[in-house]
Amino acid sequence: MHTMTIQDLAKEVLEIEANSILRLKNSINENFDRAIDVLYACKGRVIVTGMGKSGLIGKKIAATLSSTGTPSYFLHPAESTHGDSGIITRDDVIIAISNSGETKELLNLLPLIKRFGVPMIALTGGINSTLSRTSEVFLDISVEKEACPLNKAPTASTTATLAMGDALAVCLLEKRGFSEADFLVFHPSGSLGKGFLYSVSELMMKDDKLPLALEDDNFTDVIELISQKKLGLAIITDKNGLMTGVLTDGDIRRSLIKYHNVKDLKVKDTMTVNPKTISPNELAAKALHLMEKYSITALAIADENKKPVGVLHIHDLLKAGVA
């Protein structure tokens, strides 16, 4: 009788699956490079196919590829022999998934694949299987054991397959130069796309709303400016109009504690030098990331010459539905 506690068993499952992914690093070799080259050169679509649990993983891999710039489609191997194989063209690439490499429904597709001369990438744990031998590129997704105590239910093997699919998708994304703006095209709705609907320049405060002050301005005068503009900071510039720092609410508090007399204090003595800033051409999502990472509520916006052009406040992001 199994004497492990539920928590111990759960931890063992996670450890086995984590190890199954780490073992895949041994499969990142020249075969992986060839797989990326074949997928990158594909003029049609990537057709992902697999049966059972492998098929479910295949659907996710196809979806990930499609959303990152590689048009993909999932083909059910059992349905393929009843007419669905008509979607395959000579310009396509096949990714065939089978842990054993001997899945009958997949092997039934081989004559058609070979007749059309369609390149096939096999993701299988069957190193000497029919699928691995007949593929142009073979990626080893074998695992030492399944996370299932019976070593039967596809668990670690499907996790490993999914991870290999993600590795392919991410490397293709990088090879294609797929950008954040491209990502927006495929994710215009939902939380993934919200941040890409706006650029920083579209949301920032600018022109006469900017709280601008000079380095030699009086500290207390700049505090009054911050209160007037209600953005929680002032942008400090040199005499040439280039940004050299910011004065924030936090800087003010620290200065009041440090200095007993602030009447003759210059803002350059209290400001934050080299503050976090962002270009007006960046996406609003990146500005939000900076605010979250550094726990700040407003960002100074500067152009490539360090000239201040705006301020972006967290409230602007909230109103736009970015945050």
111 and 209 within one domain: no
Instruction: Report the CATH number that the domain containing residue 49 is assigned in CATH.
Output: 3.40.50.10490
* pLDDT above 60 (res 261): yes
Q: How many domains does the chain have?
A: 2
160 and 78 within one domain: yes
**Residue 283's pLDDT is what?**
84
**Residue 318's pLDDT is what?**
83
**Residue 265's pLDDT is what?**
93
193 domain residue, yes or no: no
151 and 206 within one domain: no
184 domain residue, yes or no: no
Confidence of residue 1 (pLDDT cuts 50, 70, 90): very low
In degrees and rounded to multiples of 5, residue 278 shows phi and psi of: -150, 150
DSSP state of 68: T
- Structural domain including 136 reads 6-178
205 and 162 within one domain: no
Distance CA 131, CA 120 (A): 9
**Residue 237's pLDDT is what?**
95
pLDDT tens for 160-203 read 999 999 999 999 998 888 766 666 555 555 555 555 568 899 99
220 domain residue, yes or no: yes
Confidence of residue 156 (pLDDT cuts 50, 70, 90): very high
117 domain residue, yes or no: yes
Span 90-103, mean pLDDT?
94
Task: Return the closest-CA partner of residue 295 out of 228, 250, 261.
Answer: 250
Q: Which segments of the chain does DSSP mark as H helices, in order?
A: 6-23, 30-40, 53-67, 77-80, 104-107, 110-116, 130-134, 156-176, 180-186, 190-194, 200-203, 219-229, 249-258, 284-294, 314-319
**Residue 187's pLDDT is what?**
55
Stretch among 82-96, 130-144, 206-220, 275-289 having the lowest mean pLDDT: 82-96
DSSP state of 99: S
DSSP state of 82: T
Confidence of residue 69 (pLDDT cuts 50, 70, 90): confident
Distance CA 20, CA 146 (A): 9
128 and 238 within one domain: no
Span 86-112, mean pLDDT?
91
191 domain residue, yes or no: no
Task: Return the closest-CA partner of residue 159 out of 123, 185, 132.
Answer: 123
204 and 171 within one domain: no
Is the Cβ–Cβ distance between 307 and 209 less than 8 Å?
no
* pLDDT above 50 (res 248): yes
- Mean pLDDT (the chain) is 89
Q: Which two tokens stand for residue 33?
A: 């490079």
Distance CA 174, CA 139 (A): 20
Residue owning tokens 């670690």: 156
Choose one of 145, 178, 211: the last residue of a domain.
178
146 and 241 within one domain: no
305 domain residue, yes or no: yes
218 and 144 within one domain: no
